[in-house]
């Protein structure tokens, strides 16, 4: 079970890293009504 959890976390982390590399230009992200996140990094 630990190996499955590790693989799931590793795949999600790898996907986030690749997504961050592909999207280098800042973007305005609407998370919820009235809540915005600006930029390609963490809010």
With a CB cutoff of 8 Å and minimum separation 6, the contacts of 14 are: none
Give 28's strand partners: 38
With a CB cutoff of 8 Å and minimum separation 6, the contacts of 30 are: 36
The pTM (predicted TM-score) of the whole model is 0.50
pLDDT for 32: 64
Residue 40 and residue 25: Cα distance in Å, rounded? 6
| DSSP code of residue 38 | E
pLDDT for 35: 61
In this predicted model, what pLDDT tens digit does every residue of 1-43 receive, in sequence order? 889 999 999 999 999 888 878 766 666 565 666 665 665 555 5
Q: 3-class SS at 29?
A: strand
């Amino acid at each position: 079970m630990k190996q499955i959890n590790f693989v799931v976390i590793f795949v999600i982390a790898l996907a986030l890293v690749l997504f961050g590399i592909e999207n280098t230009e800042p973007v305005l992200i609407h998370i919820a009504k009235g809540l915005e996140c600006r930029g390609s990094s963490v809010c």
